Amino acid sequence: MKEKIAKLIEEAKSAIKSSDSLASINNVKVKYLGKSGELTQLLRGMKDLPQEERPLVGKYVNEARDVITQLTEDKLKELSQAETDSKMIKESVDITLDGKTTQRGSLHPCTLVTEEIVDIFKSLGFTLGDGPEIELDKFCFQMLNIPLDHPARDMQDTFYITDDILLRTQTSSVQARTMINTKPPIRIVCPGKVYRPDDDATHSPMFQQIEGLVVDENVTLCDLKGLLETFAKRLFDDKTKVRFRPSFFPFTEPSVEVDVTCSVCHGKGCRICKGTGWIEILGAGVVNPKVFDNCGIDSKKYKGLAFGLGVERVAMIKYGIPDMRILFENDVRFLKEFK
Ligand code: DAH
């Protein structure tokens, strides 16, 4: 019996040694140590041995099992380490290779200008206002003191959807919407798209405006001047000069148009400012009390300041863009300049 067991150990040793994969070593494990494996068979056969031989044979079998178990475990470890190593080598990444570059977009110059302007007004205590692009005639015109059939309607050609629904021609509609819903004091800026049936070198059927509105007890045209001057100097630079010219808008009285010195030629005169050294950037004024009356605000107690600014125009001045159409072509070579 002793020889038989020794032979079994030798057989197992060589089977273990020649195993070259996890599958084959597992087969060896089953063959010798499994439930119906050779050692188990030997143990089962012990009942047929004479009583006195049993302890000794039991000892041999146990020793053999320990040896084979240890050897198979060692081999298992060795093979699984080898498998991991070769997998690592196969899957290894050469981190010195060039990466794949992904194309990153950039913000449109109009978006950049809008963000900058909104930030300036936020720092002056304004919050954001909002309103729809598909608007009611009453908010876009009537409440702003432009009744139906009023000649002032000719100032803004309009896309009508029905008799009283239109594409807003000005973000001033947000003024009316805000005033009917908010108790003064009010201090808002509202960026947004507006639409007019114009299309040439300096006009586009869609363009963007930023509206501003202040409603409070003791505000005057002087505050408007100070506010817009501070704004222009922050947006362009400290040397920028601001000029107010009398104008007319139905919703403000008095009304002004505001020019800044051309930031391209600094007032000397160039193509962008058509040789004048000045560029108009916004319309503004003291809110007409009739607008307050239409919107349910006490026009005896409150005064208002309002302004509306063209985003494309400011982007052109700020970045020296000579033709507004470039802003709508979305040529990536142009847009990349703003990364
Ligand atoms: N809504 C005017 C336009 O589109 C611009 C404007 C002028 C807005 C004067 C105002 C303002 O708020 O007070 O031409």
Q: What is the mean pLDDT of residues 92-110?
A: 87
Average pLDDT, the chain: 91
d(CA 59, CA 109) in angstroms, rounded, equals 88
Structure tokens at 225: 């001047």
Q: What's the gap in Å between 108 CA and the centre of ligand 1?
A: 24
pLDDT digits 0-9 by tens, 5-14: 888 888 888 9
308 lines ligand 1 (CB under 6 A): yes
Q: What proportion of the chain, given as a percentage, has pLDDT over 70?
A: 100
Residue closest to 276 by CA, chosen among 243, 246, 228: 243
297 lines ligand 1 (CB under 6 A): no
Structure tokens at 4: 């038989």
Would the pLDDT of 175 be above 90? Answer: yes
Would the pLDDT of 202 be above 80? Answer: no
Band the pLDDT of 131: cuts 50, 70, 90: very high
d(CA 135, CA 158) in angstroms, rounded, equals 11
Band the pLDDT of 321: cuts 50, 70, 90: confident
Place of tokens 């802003």: 327
Would the pLDDT of 299 be above 80? Answer: yes
DSSP classification of residue 151: G
Nearest-CA residue for atom 4 of ligand 1: 170
d(CA 84, CA 90) in angstroms, rounded, equals 10
Would the pLDDT of 47 be above 80? Answer: yes
304 lines ligand 1 (CB under 6 A): no
Q: What is the mean pLDDT of residues 73-93?
A: 90
Contact (CB, 8 A) for 203 and 195: no
Determine the pLDDT at residue 139. Answer: 97
d(CA 232, CA 229) in angstroms, rounded, equals 5
Q: What's the gap in Å between 283 CA and the centre of ligand 1?
A: 5
Nearest-CA residue for atom 8 of ligand 1: 308
Would the pLDDT of 152 be above 80? Answer: no
Extended beta strands in 55-133, E state: 127-128
Is the previous residue joined to 185 through a cis bond, with omega within 30 degrees of 0?
A: yes
Q: What proportion of the chain, given as a percentage, has pLDDT over 90?
A: 56
Higher pLDDT, 15 or 167: 167
Higher pLDDT, 185 or 105: 185
Would the pLDDT of 149 be above 90? Answer: no
Nearest-CA residue for atom 7 of ligand 1: 283
Q: Does the reported pTM lie above 0.85?
A: no
Lowest-pLDDT choice from 54-58, 228-232, 303-307: 54-58
310 lines ligand 1 (CB under 6 A): no
306 lines ligand 1 (CB under 6 A): yes
192 lines ligand 1 (CB under 6 A): no
Q: What's the gap in Å between 282 CA and the centre of ligand 1?
A: 7
pLDDT digits 0-9 by tens, 66-77: 989 999 999 999
195 lines ligand 1 (CB under 6 A): no
